[in-house]
Copies of this chain bind each other. A is one copy, B any other.
Amino acid sequence: MTNQTALPHDHEHCIDSALTLARELCTERAVKLTPIREKVLEIVWRSHKPVGAYDVLDTLARSHKAARPPTVYRALDFLMAEGLIHKIESLNAYLGCGEAGHAHESQFLICRTCGTAEEIVDGALDAALDAATKRSGFAVERKVVEIAGKCRRCQMA
């Protein structure tokens, strides 16, 4: 499954699925998906566009007056550590992970026109990355692959 960014779809269903899966995974792992963390995950998932931490904060603050930057960053850090969201480095923004629960290396296609980002998981591409780093004798810890441009939909219009 990849984010259905280019097609109309029942996004409430996306969100529900993501939250349900997150609850299951956190239970399995014996880590706590607290109300704040769950709410932040929901806020991130409400958009298929990567969302900035301060936008999350604005939304969170509507239901949680005590929310401050650390509140949000702690929740985001937890969700990243659990593989439930990703940070898009080139945007300083965060996106729900469409592959939570599976080990995966993903790449992102970021549309500069409509702002959506699609997470793709391309094995051949990842293999090419590994080959390149192996050649340099480099021990990989984290891969950031973010491709900006124009999505198919925006090219049409």
Contact = CB atoms under 8 A, between A and B. Distances in A.
Contacts of A132: 107, 120, 122, 124-125
A107 B138 CA distance: 13
B137 A142 contact: no
Interface stretch (A11-19, A36-44, A68-76, A143-151): A143-151
A149 B144 contact: no
Interface residues of A, number: 36
A141 interface: yes
Contacts of A107: 132
Counting chain B CB atoms within 10 Å of each CB, which of A107, A129, A139, A142 scores highest?
A139
Interface in A108-130: 109, 111-112, 118, 120, 122, 124-125, 127-129
Contacts of A128: 122, 124-125, 127-129
A142 to B, nearest CB: 4
B136 A109 contact: yes
B144 A89 contact: yes
Contacts of A142: 147-149
Given A124-B128, A128-B124, A128-B125, A136 B148 contact: no
Nearest to A108: B144
Which of A112, A124, A128, A143 has most B Cβ within 10 Å?
A128
Interface of A: 89-90, 107, 109, 111-112, 118, 120, 122, 124-125, 127-129, 131-133, 135-152, 155
